[in-house]
Amino acid sequence: MAIYKKPNRKIWTGRTSDQKLYLHEKVECTDIDKISASATQKTIALLGYACDTGVKRNQGRIGASAGPDAIRSQLGNMPNHMDEKSQILDCGTIECVDDDMEAAQNLLSQKVSKLLELHTFPILLGGGHDIAYGHYNGLLDHIEKDKTIGIINFDAHFDLRSNEKGNNSGTPFYQIAQDATAGKHNFKYLCLGIRKDANDRTLFETAIDFNVEFLRKKEFNMQHLDAVRQTIKDFIAGVDYIYTTIDLDGFSSAYAPGVSAASPMGFAPDIVLKSLWTIIRSNKMIGMDIAEMNPKYDRDHQTAKLAASLIQYVLHRI
């Protein structure tokens, strides 16, 4: 079972002004069903995914279900430099009930499709990385049948684990690939920041079998910026749309301690920001999410602030 919870205005707090200098003053809280069908192309819709059942099934540290509100609380106090015509809507949260992750993913998919029908740009707040399967299917349901969505995942992990024993936070892209094999769509997947110490041999073999493109963490840094940009541009050129997903556990724990699978060996924010700009400039991105925010293990809201900063960066550039 899953439920849709309407947004909570009380989460959006921070410094106050009479000029909407801060994002909490810019954000409007609204039920998805009450969004005007005439929303402009500059309307961004925030939607939470309060679920860590997939993390628990994947033997990770639970706590990511509290991730969406942790991100919102940090985002609200950030500066607002958006123009007056732009809108940010907090559209509430999909909540997983009784560990029914599949129901939460299905409901998430429906709401994402609805947001796209209303001409908004969805930014989803997780929640485990199982958010990706629901998000992707919502995008897929909306686009033209002859079009292709390319997935760009910032992550240390492929998340291509077999779901033979059930779905979890490590299986979303395997599930998407299996759906593609069944003829539902094409599977185009680029993973940035892959670490050999975070994926076993069979996962690399699976990636090769599915023709996954990837850059290892040693290649994904500012020293190799030109090559990283070219890899992203080449990938984008081969698809019609881009779905971007950022797994916070891909970052070094120096930047992101509050995640389900922390490691000091991850990447840094600077290369992610440069990569996001390359994606945004393509004008092909139709959805984005941030996954694995786990406030239970955060320090001084450091990870939540990182997630909020990434969102703030995107808000001011799309």
Indicate if the pLDDT at residue 51 is higher than 70.
yes
Indicate if the pLDDT at residue 34 is higher than 90.
no
Indicate if the pLDDT at residue 313 is higher than 90.
yes
Indicate if the pLDDT at residue 35 is higher than 90.
no
Q: What DSSP string runs through 117-185?
A: HTT-EEEEEESSTTHHHHHHHHHHHHS-TT--EEEEEE-SS------TT---TT-HHHHHHHHHHTTSS
Determine the average pLDDT of the residues in 285-296: 97
Q: What is the CA radius of gyration of the chain?
A: 18
SS3 per-residue string spanning 40-91: CCCEEEEEEEECCHHHHHCCCCCCHHHHHHHHHHHHCCCECCCCCCCEEEEE
41-45, 98-102, 115-119, 155-159: least confidently modelled range: 41-45
Determine the average pLDDT of the residues in 136-156: 96
Band of residue 64 on the pLDDT scale cut at 50, 70, 90: very high
> Would you kindly state where each structural domain of the chain is located, as residue ranges?
2-315
Indicate if the pLDDT at residue 41 is higher than 80.
no
Binding residues for Mn(2+): 129, 155, 157, 159, 247, 249
CB 256 within 8 A of CB 249: yes
CATH of domain 2-315: 3.40.800.10
Indicate the average pLDDT of the chain: 95
Binding residues: 129, 155, 157, 159, 247, 249
Determine the average pLDDT of the residues in 311-318: 95
Cα dist. 299→22, 73, 92, 140, 152 in Å? 23, 15, 25, 37, 28
